[in-house]
Amino acid sequence: MYFFEQENRLTAKQRNETITIEPWGTNALRVRATQNADFSGCSIALSPVKSSAEITIGSHDAVIRNGKISCTVHDTGWMEFYSGERLIFKEYYRDFSGANEHSPSMKITAREFKAVSGNDYRITARFEAVPGEKIFGMGQYQQPNLDLKGCILELAQRNSQISIPFYISSEGYGFLWNNAGIGEVMFGANYTQWHSLLSEELDYWITADDTPKKLLENYTEVTGRAPEFPDNALGLWQCKLRYRTQDEVLEVAREYKRRGIPLDVIVIDFFHWIRQGDWSFDPEYWPDPKAMTDELKEMDVRCMVSIWPTVDKKSVNFKEMLDNGLFIRTERGSMQCFDFQGDTVIYDALNPEARKFIWNKAKENYYSYGIDMFWLDEAEPEYSAYDYENYRHYTGPALKVGNSYPREHAMAFYEGMRAEGQTDIVNLLRCAWVGSQKYAALVWSGDIRSSFAALRDQLSAGLNIGIAGIPWWVSDTGGFFGDIRDEHFNELLVRWFQFSTFCPVLRMHGDRGPHDIPNLSDLDYGGGFSETGRPNELWSYGEEVYEILRKYLDIRLGMKDYIKSLMDEASENGSPVIRTMFYEFPDDNKCWELDDQYMFGPKYLVAPVMYQGITEREVYLPHGSWRDIHSGNIFEGGRTITAPAPLEIMPVFEKI
């Protein structure tokens, strides 16, 4: 292998492989390797950030340093990364010559390229495991694991699964797999292995710093940060499956006003249209959307409307979009991608003309009426079958580029709204990718079950997606699939609402059974088609539940200035709103072990009740003084206490 310096980069060549390492942001390096004639030149998830490096080339190795991080490339091609003088990360390498001390005859390479066709490869990258290392981030997976060490994760988007391939390590580094394709990562005890099913080149980014907060600041410097969060969306969001008419929407908003309950946002869910892909109201059930929106604004209520990326073949927009090539294509068989209540295809958010088309329809049919918030559902996008190898985008096969779809979908609406001069932008999406945060994406955790097990999963999901760079996150309070006849449902709803109170956004939503409400129409299309769930407002579950929900909403409203400060911090340095304990207390070893409590910003320690029938729970208080927000009692930290948790109480402690 020989080394040379070129344009602030260290480049190494051996046989058919070229490696280039360059500074990219604060205390960070970008590493690429290819067996093609040259690199693609794509930045993928990374924004350009000017940095300079120190490069030293020796007889058997070369070193590149950018601030606190450095990389040594040996003449065998094997790489090691250091924070200062401390080794933090290195490739897993069992080479041909015996240069590695472990089983040299195994002949396992750190970087493996298996040709598929043309310039594309199946790529595998392997890195050494560190005993005791803990790993956090990677987006959102429906599992209770907060520490991802030992987990196998699919790198693919699904309903309720969000792949954002960035993590931080307890060893003091952050790592981004800079690849938008389908694949898998295994955080094994013996080694970590990343696998991409279709890529031109290996590409990753790594940063080293002193605290998790600094690591996340470095990461969001190069991938983007959330804009300013609107003041008028920090309170209660009201939603259900589904408000079927504008009269239903107005009746609910009026009842909130009559009860003196501030309501920030009310949401109109799916099938307010005639067919998927019309992106407009069915006039039979929504005869005057502007009058509806005007009345809501008089009550200081913002209106959000659901938009799906799916297009029915009978939609008014289908032929024009087909003729202009604005759909995701199938490689074989039918062009159908999704078959929920219609034979549908999906618009291609990776096509700039398609993004322009869908925004112009939304602008004409919603924005012009004063609706300035959009619920971008199905944003993975959801396929009837997740056969990723059967789909092709404007920029390439889904296997190669598909994971970036939700980010581009968010961009379509954010940039359209910005062009109209709007600044108070927040849109709700069911999926995200690296950088979605800079497009005002409020991500929710998908169509999950109404169960205590699902509630437990959401805590890990919300904390890990925050570490992956998405500070605006929410779940369906009470879960999505639920039945009010379940004897434990009210208890679950209360516990979930308490948790949601101390999340970035407080949103009531869910499909509440039983489904015994007749449809408005016998037709198989239109705004009267499709079922609706039971009522899902604060007063829908009896007086006892109502009083508890009102109590926690009042707590939320009393914290608006504090919550706004957390949103501002997310915009300034990328910090999540809900934070792992170690994020605020990185020097406390106990905090790296905790997975059932969290920090709501730097001030409030939250211990959600996530199991049925619990009336007390253990809470670890880090060193310092803590005030129970319910009783006012003061506790000295550095110990675990048992906190009372009857139904009306979720333990929360304020750092004083």
Return the active site residues.
377, 380, 447
How far out from the chain centre does Cα 577 lie?
13
CB neighbours of 151 closer than 8 A, spacing ≥ 6? Answer: 141, 143, 145, 186, 187
Q: Which two tokens stand for residue 66?
A: 């950018």
166: nearest Cα among 474, 377, 433: 433
Q: In this structure, how many other beta carbons lie within 10 angstroms of the beta carbon of residue 264?
A: 21
Report the distance separating Cα 218 and Cα 209, nearest Å. Answer: 9
How far out from the chain centre does Cα 461 lie?
9
* Residue 530 near residue 270 (C-beta atoms within 8 A): yes
* Residue 408 near residue 434 (C-beta atoms within 8 A): no
CB neighbours of 605 closer than 8 A, spacing ≥ 6? Answer: 581, 597, 598, 599, 619, 621, 622, 626, 652, 653, 654, 655
Concatenating the DSSP letter of every residue in 533-574 gives PPP-SGGGG-HHHHHHHHHHHHHHHHTHHHHHHHHHHHHHH-
Evaluated on CA atoms 105, 106, 111, 113, the torsion sign reads positive
CA 113 vs CA 32, 99, 119, 505: distances in Å: 13, 21, 11, 44
Report the distance separating Cα 366 and Cα 375, nearest Å. Answer: 12
171: nearest Cα among 125, 206, 204, 219: 206
For 550-569, b/e burial (b = at least 16 CB within 10 A) is ebbbebbbebeeebeebbeb
* Residue 392 near residue 405 (C-beta atoms within 8 A): no
Q: Which two tokens stand for residue 456?
A: 């437990």
* Residue 203 near residue 32 (C-beta atoms within 8 A): yes
* Residue 135 near residue 141 (C-beta atoms within 8 A): no
Give SS3 for 341: coil
Report the distance separating Cα 601 and Cα 151, nearest Å. Answer: 27
Report the distance separating Cα 181 and Cα 306, nearest Å. Answer: 27
Q: In this structure, how many other beta carbons lie within 10 angstroms of the beta carbon of residue 107?
A: 10
Q: Which two tokens stand for residue 593?
A: 């072990």
Task: Say how many residues make up the chain.
Answer: 656
491: nearest Cα among 606, 653, 610, 629: 610
CA 46 vs CA 25, 403, 574: distances in Å: 10, 15, 15
Residue type, 584: E
In terms of C-beta density within 10 A (0-12 exposed, 13-18 middle, 19 or more buried), how is residue 445 classed? buried
CB neighbours of 414 closer than 8 A, spacing ≥ 6? Answer: 425, 427, 439, 440, 441
How far out from the chain centre does Cα 622 lie?
28
